Amino acid sequence: MDDRTSLLAKLAQEMARQTASDPMAHRLCRSATSLLGADGAAITLAYTGAHRVTLCVTDERAARLEDLQDLLGEGPGPTAYRTGRRVHVLVGDGDHRWPRFDASAHQALGSINVHAIPIRPDHATLGVFTCHLQPGQKLLLSMGTAQFLADAVGVALLRDPLAQSVGGQDGDGPWSSRSRIHQATGMVVAQLGIQPGDALALLRAHAFAQDATLDEIATSVTDRVLDFSQMDHGNGSTDS
């Protein structure tokens, strides 16, 4: 099992632990936060645009960080969104890139490690996953793996579940694809005991990880080649 598949297996396990009635964005955000070993996180879309929206925050510190960056128009989140690159800052360390943010965040929260990871599943940056830790702490995943996780979360949240199921021949067209995706979703619900929306989100993320169509992944599930309940859910970590 490759690292990406293993990571998605762990994401599936974390999703299964979440409260089913909570919004999907919150469940995904908390699950990714846990996998990264962060203390808290937020997902914000269109970070510097007119339609900016924070989909979820896990704790008061994450909420405060998002509020300050929105108010000041600077910080690791806006920079990650504009550049499409991961940004790290130790708040209170006198970072000259965003002096107002550094001073305000330090006054409000004290010293804190902040990682802003752009969400860019299709190469265009959709938003930012911003997580925080105590000074001296490191993420449990390498930055490359953390980037993949943020992108996979973006796919799970935003990609049209039927966008890639556009046809084929002789009974393998859109309606057949929809039926397979529906059946596969039901099988993942049974395997993991999660909600249908969560199961579909995991199928999308797995398709993204394997550079496959959603229909191809659904077929693997219905053919019993892919079983989320049998994936490796070990606790091994990746280099920081």
For residue 175, name the pLDDT band (cuts at 50, 70, 90).
Answer: very low
Residues 30 and 107 in one domain: yes
For residue 234, name the pLDDT band (cuts at 50, 70, 90).
Answer: very low
Q: What are residue 206's phi and psi, to 5 degrees?
A: -65, -40
What's the whole-model pTM score?
A: 0.73
Please give the residue range of the domain that contains residue 38. Answer: 3-158
CATH number for the domain including 195?
Answer: 1.10.10.10
Mapped onto helix, strand or coil, the DSSP state of residue 179 is helix
Confidence check: pLDDT of 74 > 90: yes
Q: For residues 216 and 162, which has the higher predicted lDDT (pLDDT)?
A: 216
Average pLDDT score over residue span 22-38: 93
Q: Establish if 163 belongs to a structural domain.
A: no
For residue 164, name the pLDDT band (cuts at 50, 70, 90).
Answer: very low
Residues 119 and 180 in one domain: no
Q: Which of 111, 133, 158 is the last residue of a domain?
A: 158
Confidence check: pLDDT of 151 > 90: yes
Q: Establish if 236 belongs to a structural domain.
A: no
Residues 36 and 82 in one domain: yes
Total number of domains constituting the chain:
2
Q: Kindly give, in sequence order, each residue whose CB lies less than 8 Å from that of residue 221, ignoring residues fewer than 6 positions away.
A: 183, 184, 187, 188, 203, 227, 228
Sign of the dihedral defined by the CA atoms of residues 51, 66, 17, 208, in that order: positive
- The count of residues in the chain is 240
